[in-house]
Copies of this chain bind each other. A is one copy, B any other.
Amino acid sequence: MNAGCPLCEAVGGRLVFEHPQFRVIHADEPGFPAFYRLVWRDHVREFSDLAPTLRALCMEAVALIETCLREQLAPAKINLATLGNVVPHLHWHVIARFEWDAHFPAPVWATAQRERDVAREAEIALRLAALESLMVERLRSL
């Protein structure tokens, strides 16, 4: 617990799953309807601050989220990243990217290349409940 850290003091999004070591949240990032984050419970700055067994747990959870996104949404690509320049509390972005999203193929942090397709975003949003149900079932086995 680090006073003033937004990921210590708040969930950071819509809670999908809680594990003793981490939580999975759906991030409210306009334009990216299937944007999840794995947030490490403890206030850890860098990935390499985790012990090897915890790194393995962390990345198996990330891979599991990725697999569910691929199976349920068939995205053009998955993007994984841990940056933390602004909020240095270990969290992994797991983002399903689509050819129609406003930034594709550029990173989500780059300048938009086209208008958003809100109809397609809404179609994806309707599929998140089934996706998250599967994700939670599998995350419980970790």
Report A's interface with B, CB cutoff 8 A: 45-48, 52, 55-56, 59-60, 62-63, 66-67, 70, 76-86, 88, 97, 104-107, 109-111
Contacts and interface: CB of A to CB of B under 8 A. Distances in A.
A55 B59 CA distance: 8
A86 B59 contact: no
Given A47-B66, A48-B70, A63-B55, A97 B79 contact: no
A80 B111 contact: no
Nearest to A45: B77
Contact of A109 (B55, B59, B82, B107): B107
A34 B67 CA distance: 31
Q: Within the oligomer, what is the number of copies of this chain?
A: 2
Nearest to A105: B85
For chain A, what secondary structure do more than half of its interface residues adopt (helix, strand, loop), or is it mixed?
mixed
8 contacts: A47-B66, A79-B82, A80-B81, A81-B81, A81-B82, A85-B104, A109-B109, A109-B110
A67 B50 CA distance: 11
A61 to B, nearest CB: 11
Contact of A48 (B55, B56, B66, B109): B66
A81 B79 contact: yes
B105 A86 contact: yes
Contacts of A67: 48
